[in-house]
């Protein structure tokens, strides 16, 4: 647009040279179209990179989580008590250890993602082995949760029958718990190198085996609740051996060069970041399991436990999708920061959040449309189906909120903000959400519905805080920090551990 005398804007209709004005307008339109086209191309390119990680990650997570869902489904047709026992063991006891060890493994996602972006491929194998040492030792420290599950559950208010049966199931789920350090870290090791397809194939194969084994032993041979737990142990370890076999078979020649002594160097620093990650995700993963514990204080305990367990299971099942976007955001942000590309990290964040939000809206609509049929997969009890239907609206909005915050957590993982997010989780969930839930539960006469409503408030607070932190992130500084960290970690590798040290001997 032309400028008038003394800087005043002229009315386009009064410009003396209409042809020139039209030419300028046409250039502006072309410039805007070029910008829009550039943004579309960049978005499409980033979406392809993101889905290359998120797609297989979602499939693998759904497959692994579906093993528990399959076991609950078969157990639910044995008896209400068996369903309550397997549900509490998997959504309370396993949820604590699963969330903590999964969070610890996310530290590996930060290290491997940044090292891969910086093309320091040999460091990935060292980081993997460090994570094995740290996570396995921590998994041993968590064993008392399984050994003393029955008295813990009784102390939390569960009935004697449910607590004792859940304690039995928890003991038989220890082998599943001990595979988590290897399952989670092998997945992150491969996905940071964009080798996500193999994770999906192996997880899908393990799920197929689990369905077959569960149908044979639980449904046909009626081995009972202990047999159901053993099928879970077996199927999870099938997945671990499949991933491990792929890694050591020569498919990762640059990142896996055998067992190295350097894996024992810097364990304390690795533990500190891993522990912060573990607290971050454990608090997040366990948050809604509080509802299962509260159900022990309600009338008609088994029905309440079953209904809430089904609702939380559906929520957990759907959560595998935003957790897939969490993985994609973590890898993409870490890769871009490791490569020194601050703008790429910021753009990857934007695309991941918007995509996950669209998927969340889709599932919110699905739950609202089919709320009356949600529980039929797990049980034929009319009382349980009715209660799940009553909780469907809360479930739908919990799913919608959960479509945003895991991606923001993924960004935090990619940047290495694990400790900060752990404190945010404590404050949002356990200093705001849980007290608000119990206050509404005491104030309003709707029992667990009021408690759940209050706890959603904690989720909202956490989402808003993470969104503000991400929006205010100084991406250039984060890229510089990533580069410095990788260079510092490279020094001991060169000096202390030649590539042929303590090479892996095939089993």
Which H helix or E strand runs over 301?
Answer: helix 301-338
Q: Is pLDDT larger for residue 57 or for residue 168? A: 168
In a domain, 413, yes or no: yes
Q: What does each C-alpha distance from 204 to 156, 209, 240, 242, 443 come to in angstroms?
A: 36, 9, 13, 11, 46
Confidence of residue 294 (pLDDT cuts 50, 70, 90): low
**CA-CA distance, 477 to 507, in Å (whole number)?**
44
DSSP string, 303-351: HHHHHHHHHHHHHHHHHHHHHHHHHHHHHHHHHHHHTT-HHHHHHHHHH
pLDDT at 150: 92
Residues in the chain: 507
pLDDT at 500: 34
Average pLDDT, the chain: 79
Mean pLDDT of 203-217: 91
Identify which of 196, 240, 180, 195 has the alpha carbon closest to the alpha carbon of residue 58: 196
SS3 percent helix, strand, coil of the chain, rounded to 5, is 85, 0, 15
Residue 77 has pLDDT above 80, yes or no: no
In a domain, 266, yes or no: yes
Show the domain range for 486: 46-492
pLDDT at 412: 81
In a domain, 21, yes or no: no
Total domains present in the chain: 1
Residue 420 has pLDDT above 70, yes or no: yes
Mean pLDDT of 1-28: 50
**CA-CA distance, 365 to 363, in Å (whole number)?**
5
In a domain, 357, yes or no: yes
**Tell me: the pLDDT tens digits for 356-381?**
889 889 999 988 888 777 777 777 77
In a domain, 497, yes or no: no
pLDDT at 10: 44
Give the percent of the chain with pLDDT over 90.
15
Q: Are 404 and 360 in contact (CB under 8 A)?
A: yes
CA dihedral 275, 277, 280, 282 (to 10 degrees): -70
**Tell me: the pLDDT tens digits for 139-162?**
999 999 999 999 988 887 777 888
Mean pLDDT of 413-433: 81
Residue 182 has pLDDT above 90, yes or no: yes
Q: What's the whole-model pTM score?
A: 0.71
Residue 4 has pLDDT above 50, yes or no: no
Expressed in angstroms, the distance from the first to the final Cα of the chain is 74
**CA-CA distance, 116 to 193, in Å (whole number)?**
7
Q: How many CB atoms lie within 10 A of CB 253?
A: 8
DSSP string, 208-261: HHHHHHHIIIIIIS--HHHHHHHHHHHHHHHHHHHHHHHIIIII-TTT--S--G
**Tell me: the pLDDT tens digits for 427-468?**
888 888 888 887 887 777 666 777 788 888 888 998 899 889
In a domain, 22, yes or no: no
**Half-sphere exposure of residue 262, counting CA atoms within 13 Å on the CB side?**
24
CA angle 24, 28, 33 (to 5 degrees): 150
In a domain, 418, yes or no: yes
Q: What's 474's DSSP letter?
A: -
In a domain, 15, yes or no: no
Give the percent of the chain with pLDDT over 70.
84
pLDDT at 140: 95
**CA-CA distance, 273 to 238, in Å (whole number)?**
29
Residue 165 has pLDDT above 50, yes or no: yes
pLDDT at 176: 94
């Amino acid at each position: 647009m032309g400028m008038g005398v003394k800087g005043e804007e002229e009315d386009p209709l009064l410009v003396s040279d209409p042809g020139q004005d039209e030419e300028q307008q046409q250039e502006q339109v072309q410039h805007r179209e070029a910008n829009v086209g550039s943004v579309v191309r960049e978005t499409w390119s980033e979406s392809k990179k993101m889905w290359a990680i998120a797609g297989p990650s979602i499939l693998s997570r759904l497959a692994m989580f579906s093993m528990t869902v399959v076991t609950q489904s078969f157990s639910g047709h044995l008896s209400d008590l068996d369903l309550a026992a397997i549900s509490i063991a998997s959504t309370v006891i396993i949820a604590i250890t699963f969330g903590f060890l999964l969070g610890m493994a996310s530290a590996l996602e930060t290290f491997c993602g940044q090292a891969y972006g910086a093309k320091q491929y040999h460091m990935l194998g060292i980081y993997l082995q460090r994570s094995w040492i740290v996570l396995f030792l921590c998994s041993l420290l968590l064993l008392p949760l399984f050994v003393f599950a029955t008295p813990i559950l009784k102390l939390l208010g569960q009935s004697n029958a449910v607590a004792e049966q859940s304690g039995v199931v928890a003991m038989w789920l220890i082998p599943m718990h001990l595979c988590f350090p290897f399952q989670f870290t092998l997945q992150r090791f491969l996905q940071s190198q964009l080798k996500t397809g193999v994770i999906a194939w192996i997880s899908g194969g393990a799920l197929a085996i689990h369905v077959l084994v569960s149908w044979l032993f639980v449904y046909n041979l009626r081995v009972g609740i202990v047999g159901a737990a053993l099928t879970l142990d077996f199927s999870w370890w099938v997945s671990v051996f499949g991933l491990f076999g792929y890694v050591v078979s020569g498919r990762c020649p640059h990142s896996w060069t055998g067992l190295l002594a350097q894996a024992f160097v810097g364990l304390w620093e690795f533990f500190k970041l891993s522990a912060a990650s573990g607290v971050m995700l454990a608090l997040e993963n366990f948050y809604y399991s509080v509802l299962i514990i509260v159900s022990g204080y309600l009338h008609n305990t088994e029905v309440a436990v079953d209904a809430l367990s089904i609702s939380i299971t559906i929520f957990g099942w759907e959560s595998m999708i935003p957790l897939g976007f969490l993985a994609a955001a973590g890898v993409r942000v870490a890769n871009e920061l490791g490569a020194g590309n601050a703008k790429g990290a910021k753009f990857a964040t934007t695309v991941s959040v918007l995509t996950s939000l669209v998927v969340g809206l889709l599932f919110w609509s699905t739950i609202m449309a089919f709320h009356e049929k949600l529980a039929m997969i797990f049980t034929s009890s009319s009382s349980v189906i009715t209660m799940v239907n009553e909780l469907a609206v809360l479930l739908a909005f919990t799913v919608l909120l959960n479509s945003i915050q895991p991606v923001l957590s993924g960004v935090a993982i990619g940047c290495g903000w694990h400790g900060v997010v752990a404190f945010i989780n404590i404050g949002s969930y356990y200093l705001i959400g849980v007290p608000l839930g119990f206050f509404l539960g005491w104030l309003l006469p709707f029992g667990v519905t009021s408690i759940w409503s209050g706890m959603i408030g904690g989720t909202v607070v956490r989402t808003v805080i993470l969104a503000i932190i991400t929006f205010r992130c100084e991406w250039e500084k984060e890229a510089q920090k990533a580069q410095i960290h990788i260079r510092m970690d490279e020094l001991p590798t060169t000096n202390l551990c030649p590539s042929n040290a303590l090479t892996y001997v095939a089993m």
